[in-house]
């Protein structure tokens, strides 16, 4: 890298967006000239999101952060919701033909995604406000004959068949690939072309699995418009354990608080392994380089303080769930991992444990001799069966109101209910369950 280029970057802050991606480890690959393209002027760039579900999960967080960095650097980010392509399905990375979404479902999901993206991007900025588009706007009204003439003409079936995702499916006699999915690359390329025409969008970003689709779009723009466009792809997020990133014991970690509570969301990040935490800080937080580097030192020299995990959890949770969501998650964490439950009032418990799974039980069931703990554990789902509950107690893994229970025949009665209203059950270190007394 020569000196004068560096100087130029000093004076134009938006030139740094690829540098930003680069030091954060987010830059897997980019087409030639992409860095210069961003350096020269404020650009418009887009990323597509598939409306396969009504909520995004943390697996989509990296591309979202990509848009955030673009906007911060002065460029205009477009989030393209694939209301149209969602009806088709991208064969990339899929070994099976995809289940088709209904139009209603795709529209509903697109709307949910739209709401979530608003947490990350500024849609009301003066100069480079983020935009949201839905490709159903142009795909839905596209006459087949026009599509074949104007778009299909530019694609070589020979090249499409050479694509890795298509090749693998062709090799598999059993599954094969439908014409519908085979055509997916054309549709995504057409999206890029439309955004180029309508929005002056010259760059497409995406996960590294999108590289082929992105370059197809670039080619299409060159052929149809005679103009140059660019692509940037992010790496696949992995964790050091080799398991899929974004899964917790409870399954996918969603951005929707109704699907994954802010408390669970926060806990997902707090539990990040040392080996992954610095990489994740670069990917998912907006902390500046110096701070990330300081935290990296902290992970090395004083790992027990877990400052890096905390910084990560705070930054990401605040962005997704807001200050109130973060505060609630931290309060619950503090009470659950820091202190003793028995000292709290019913109101405090209700507040803190609103994040935690709960069930109700009738007052009369607990009066008198009470119910056997084994039964209660099995009924509320903390244990999968009575035998499981029994074994968990025998293994020393069950707590009532923070006190370890050792007697298998222990009963739960009204005197266990804090303020006569709540019993806090816990199995293992992290699994809490709140039993609310009714009536």
Residues 310-349, one symbol each (x = binds RNA by CB under 7 A, - = not), give -----------------------x---x------------
By the rule CB under 7 A, 173 interacts with RNA: no
Among residues 23 and 337, whose Cβ is nearest to RNA? Answer: 337
By the rule CB under 7 A, 251 interacts with RNA: no
Paired strand residues for 438? 362
- Which of 111, 219, 296, 388 contacts RNA by CB under 7 A? 388
- Which of 260, 390, 401, 433 contacts RNA by CB under 7 A? 390
By the rule CB under 7 A, 176 interacts with RNA: no
By the rule CB under 7 A, 60 interacts with RNA: no
Query: Measured from the CB of residue 394, what is the shortest distance to RNA in angstroms?
Result: 7
Among residues 199 and 375, whose Cβ is nearest to RNA? Answer: 375
Query: Measured from the CB of residue 187, what is the shortest distance to RNA in angstroms?
Result: 33
Contacting range for RNA; rule: CB under 7 A; set: 15-23, 47-55, 147-155, 395-403: 395-403
Query: Measured from the CB of residue 246, what is the shortest distance to RNA in angstroms?
Result: 15
Contacting range for RNA; rule: CB under 7 A; set: 36-44, 123-131, 269-277, 285-293: 269-277
Query: Measured from the CB of residue 367, what is the shortest distance to RNA in angstroms?
Result: 20
- Which of 96, 271, 342, 406 contacts RNA by CB under 7 A? 271
By the rule CB under 7 A, 433 interacts with RNA: no
CA separation for the pair 382, 426 (Å, rounded):
8
By the rule CB under 7 A, 244 interacts with RNA: no
Q: Which residues contact RNA (rule: CB under 7 A)? A: 241, 249, 267, 270-274, 303-304, 306, 309, 333, 337, 374-375, 378, 384-388, 390-392, 395-397, 427-431
């Amino acid at each position: 890298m020569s000196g004068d280029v560096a100087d130029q970057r000093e004076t134009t802050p938006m030139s740094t967006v690829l540098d930003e991606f680069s030091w954060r480890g987010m830059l897997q690959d980019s087409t030639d000239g992409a860095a210069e393209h961003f350096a020269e002027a404020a650009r418009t760039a887009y990323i597509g999101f598939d409306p396969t579900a009504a909520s995004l999960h943390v697996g989509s967080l990296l591309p979202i952060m990509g848009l955030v960095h673009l906007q911060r650097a002065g460029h205009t980010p477009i989030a393209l919701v694939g209301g149209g392509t969602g009806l088709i399905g991208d064969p990339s990375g899929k070994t099976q033909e995809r289940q088709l979404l209904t139009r209603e479902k795709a529209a509903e999901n697109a709307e949910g995604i739209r709401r979530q993206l608003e947490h990350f991007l500024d849609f009301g900025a003066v100069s480079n406000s983020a935009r949201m588009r839905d490709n159903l706007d142009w795909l839905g009204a596209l006459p087949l004959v026009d599509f074949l003439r104007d778009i299909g003409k530019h694609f070589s079936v020979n090249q499409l068949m050479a694509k890795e995702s298509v090749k693998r499916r062709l090799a598999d006699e059993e599954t094969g690939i439908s014409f519908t999915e085979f055509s997916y690359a054309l549709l995504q390329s057409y999206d890029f072309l439309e955004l180029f025409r309508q929005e002056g969008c010259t760059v497409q970003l995406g996960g590294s699995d999108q590289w082929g689709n992105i370059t197809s779009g670039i080619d299409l723009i060159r052929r149809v418009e005679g103009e140059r466009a660019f692509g940037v792809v992010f790496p696949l997020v992995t964790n050091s354990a080799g398991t899929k990133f974004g899964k917790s014991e409870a399954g996918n970690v969603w951005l929707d608080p109704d699907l994954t509570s802010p408390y669970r969301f926060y806990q997902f990040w707090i539990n990040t392994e040392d080996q992954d935490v610095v990489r994740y800080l670069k990917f998912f937080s907006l902390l500046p380089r110096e701070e990330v580097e300081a935290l990296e030192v902290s992970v090395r020299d004083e790992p027990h303080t877990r400052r890096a995990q905390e910084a990560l959890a705070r930054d990401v949770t605040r962005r997704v769930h807001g200050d109130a969501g973060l505060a609630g998650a931290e309060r619950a964490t503090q009470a659950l991992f820091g202190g003793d439950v028995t000292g709290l009032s019913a109101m405090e418990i209700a507040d803190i444990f609103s994040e935690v799974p709960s069930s109700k039980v009738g007052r009369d069931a607990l009066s008198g001799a009470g119910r056997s703990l084994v039964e209660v554990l099995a009924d509320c789902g903390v244990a999968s069966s009575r035998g499981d509950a029994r074994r968990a107690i025998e293994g020393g893994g069950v707590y009532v109101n923070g006190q370890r229970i050792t007697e298998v025949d222990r009963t739960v009665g009204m005197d266990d209910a804090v303020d006569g209203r709540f019993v806090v059950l816990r199995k293992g270190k992290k699994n809490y369950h709140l039993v609310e007394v009714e009536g």
